[in-house]
Structure 1
């Protein structure tokens, strides 16, 4: 940064007079001329960075630059912009701001801006990075640095989903219930949906949007659990609550109706002999019951049988098919809620009234 070493006392007096009389309500009057923008130092353009959910809070990289030149000693503001490579920063993503000459990104921070800029999870892509300098509270006298390109491989912790539009919700893929796969890149999907008559399955587009015109699947006409993309039929269903499983690679599906859910166990009034039926709320998409429980054990089961039941292995509030019995902490009157609406993230709550 250059500094003005020789300034006459008369010039300073004039500046002070003008600043006092013309800008008495502005404490940020700066006499400076932009003479050179910031210069990026590290990382080198072309650097490849693979981000990881396991290292979310660890630093992924640190962007360092040389100071911009304003031909005056003044505080300089720096803001970082990131954009999909080749877009000429038409839709830049804010990468942070500072008064220092560097900024560090954790894996999570860099991942967030990478996804926002348009990169796809687990696919390497190029992002352009630049720094803009300015002075004063109004970010005046902006100067733009050179541009470097980073090759970023982002990640996602969200499971891929497909939509289930149909008569149950007006055949609108954008608002339809979702099924989730077991992991990114897997073709197996599952989830619970209240169905009414006919339905289909719809994949998202590259941007993650669900709409007609995307890949969609229906029954091959045999109604034996086989899916096809072309010449398909809508899948029929009698009204009820279903557990759906779909494999979009093997083109198969199954629909098991589990409309009746109940609470059973040594902590319930009828013990392990019979269920206490829960009530479905279509607005919250949950089952619930208010019931007196003792400080014993409970589970959730479907259709008054043991073929399909949930417990909580690990006591983490997440349900596991056939999992451990759930411990009731103290005796009392409880509101128990079973939430199967979030695919592969099935949960419950026990609220003491």
Structure 2
């Protein structure tokens, strides 16, 4: 087995502590919670690690607060190892929050470092176990650190038997006056433009979700995020027009159907020279939710994380006949499910099961075009 090295360090927070006077020594007296720190989220039976989904959310790990009986922020390290003894481990993140999002790429790198990538010397070269644990600590130097370690969580991971090299999907980029107010970057800056993805190499049908948090959005479509060369605009006569037709010569800045902002599903076809925008507001529905299949429970969008979320009580339900789904605008015209129960999503996909009764936080990430993901974490 290969030796693991530190691969990922995210959000490193450094705490410094100052004594009340120059002569005082500041010492922590920890009174840990009797139950200690522990993971609180439910995990999938197996995580399928595809390189093409590297940027997708694999899991958002959630845990309870550690109690050190001190008035100072607590740091949390999420450690991962292929050995239950944790003789060597990788650091997936160091945060002060009680949750951390881990991508498919994070887990894939661990799996490959552990020799799970088609190693012919193993009986099951593409299947293995990754072990996770939490370290909670306060203090900034070796002599002043007090810590707690959680129990160890194991997750099963699988690599495709013969992972083919896949081409990145062709992209079209949306640049405009909404980028700054919507959390993407600087207005009218190609490098900060948000992407739409084609359905396959050589296809011209682009799709993606874009948040436009301004009263009167104006934008164009770019073939690359490096310049305005070859840009597409609306075929109308005034900036902000929405005709549903794009052109590359004599164009104006495109607008939205109602001339107002929102969270839009955008579809563009650069061969047919057409485009459409559908404003969406997302919720969860299903017989696992308090209102069943009769009505949605609305989700809230966070422009900083680019994620929709909701916390609610759910009941145990078995998919595919029962469970939950995501849908937009309190209607079935636009709904998303999970056909393979692998955390990736498909329009019109299957219901998502709930393993047991409890209070859950559900997230929906539509920020990666055509690679939509969700998480369901028990609180």
TM-score by length of 1: 0.54
Q: Select which of 221, 227, 232 maps to 2:236.
A: 221
- When the two chains are superposed, the root-mean-square deviation of aligned CA atoms in Å is 2.0
Unaligned runs of 5+ in 2: 1-50, 53-116, 118-163, 180-186, 318-322
TM-score by length of 2: 0.50
Q: Is it true that 1:351 corresponds to 2:377 in the alignment?
A: yes
- Secondary structure of residue in 1 paired with 2:232: strand
Report how far residue 155 of structure 1 moved: 6.5
Q: Is it true that 1:199 corresponds to 2:219 in the alignment?
A: yes
- Secondary structure of residue in 2 paired with 1:174: helix
Computing the radius of gyration from Cα coordinates, the structure with the larger value is 1
Q: What's the counterpart of residue 168 of structure 1?
A: 178
Equivalenced residues, count: 197
Q: What's the counterpart of residue 5 of structure 1?
A: none
Report how far residue 312 of structure 1 moved: 0.8
Q: Select which of 251, 261, 276 maps to 1:232.
A: 251
Q: Is it true that 1:275 corresponds to 2:321 in the alignment?
A: no
Unaligned runs of 5+ in 1: 1-52, 55-105, 107-153, 205-209
- Secondary structure of residue in 2 paired with 1:350: strand
* Alpha-carbon distance change, 313 to 156 in structure 1, aligned in 2, over 3 angstroms: closer
Q: What's the counterpart of residue 194 of structure 2?
A: 177
Report how far residue 290 of structure 1 moved: 0.8
Instruction: Work out whether residues 190 and 228 of structure 2, in 8 Å CA contact, stay in contact via their aligned partners in 1.
Output: no
Q: What's the counterpart of residue 308 of structure 2?
A: 287
- Secondary structure of residue in 1 paired with 2:226: coil
Instruction: Work out whether residues 222 and 228 of structure 2, in 8 Å CA contact, stay in contact via their aligned partners in 1.
Output: no
Q: Give the structure with the higher percent strand.
A: 1
Q: What's the counterpart of residue 317 of structure 1?
A: 343
* Alpha-carbon distance change, 324 to 155 in structure 1, aligned in 2, over 3 angstroms: closer
Report how far residue 157 of structure 1 moved: 2.8
| Structure-2 separation of matches of 1:276 and 1:263 | 5
| Structure-2 separation of matches of 1:203 and 1:316 | 32
| Structure-1 separation of matches of 2:236 and 2:348 | 34
